[in-house]
Structure 1
Amino acid sequence: MKLLRNLRRMNSDRRLAFAAARGRSAAGFTMLELMIVITIIFILLGMAAGSYQHSLVRSREAALKNDLFVMRQSIQQYTVDKQNGPQSLDDLVSSGYLREIPKDPITHAADWRVDFGDVLLSVDETSPGITDVHSSSDAVSPFENTPYSSW
């Protein structure tokens, strides 16, 4: 047991003497080790940034789908209740069907493209108005490969 302890101490003393002869401490990191660690950190950061961008686009698309659904439901309900279609999205706000016109999550502005139709959405409808709403963005969804304006 004592022999093993002495061998360990000698081996440790030999490493310290070698490190001192080279002019560095035995407890420090070499420049190569630091560069490897920094490279690994940058690789992990790059992977995380890619995942973040992917999540950001997915969340904007989900918000767009939800906003379109709510506005289309409001247009239909307005048309059924008033017997004519809304002439602008502001009609939905002033009548209380929407609190405010939501911002398009893709363009970050309330600049929706509306479709006016000659087709009456209800039997009781007297005059047509807005029949549908779309995003005004020209961008294409990277996941569905369709333009946002066609949703």
Structure 2
Amino acid sequence: MNQTTSRGQAAFTLIELLVVMAIVGLLLSIGVPRYLVSLEKSRDTILKENVRVLRTTLDRFYSDKGRFPDALDELVQQKYLREVPIDPVVESSQRWVLLPSSDRDKSGIADVKSGAPGTAADGTPYASY
């Protein structure tokens, strides 16, 4: 048995490896941008949901207590939330923009918006959420 022949048949040629690498590169060039877009859309969806949860919780707090909370941590202390949701764009629960009530007789946080700079995938500014 000739060792050269058996090695030559069992190994890949340089051309075969280059073709496989080119195919993998092509697939990655198609897949990675789509993956990044889906990550951005997921972040936007999570942000919208977290804002909705905070607003609903503020409304429930007001309905129960007859006043708005002085801080978001009060919602956690009073067991309305387990924890203050994270703004997924800035990856922090401390960057929410807290808006007071427009009624002078009511103090506390009446509304919340994202403190993230920039815009979502659809062009909507994060600050408008």
Q: Is the 8 A contact 1:83 1:127 kept in 2?
A: no
Deviations 1:103-147 (A, max 9, x none): 111111112111112238xxxxx62321211111112112x2011
Write out the 4+ residue segments of structure 1 that deviate beyond 4 Å after TM superposition: 25-30
Further displaced range: 131-140 or 29-38? 29-38
Instruction: Report SS of the residue matched to 1:54.
Output: helix
Paired position in structure 1 for 2:91: 108
Q: CA RMSD in A?
A: 2.2
Equivalenced residues, count: 123
Deviation at 1:71, TM superposition (A): 0.6
Gaps of 5+ in 1: 1-19, 121-125
Q: 2:43 and 2:124 mapped to 1: Cα distance?
A: 15
Deviation at 1:37, TM superposition (A): 2.4
Identity %: 34
Instruction: Report SS of the residue matched to 2:98.
Output: strand
Deviation at 1:48, TM superposition (A): 1.7
Deviation at 1:29, TM superposition (A): 5.3
Aligned residue among 64, 67, 77 for 1:94: 77
Q: Is the 8 A contact 1:113 1:135 kept in 2?
A: yes
Q: Is the 8 A contact 1:112 1:134 kept in 2?
A: yes
Q: 1:57 and 1:74 mapped to 2: Cα distance?
A: 26
Larger Rg, first or second structure (1 or 2) = 1
Gaps of 5+ in 2: none
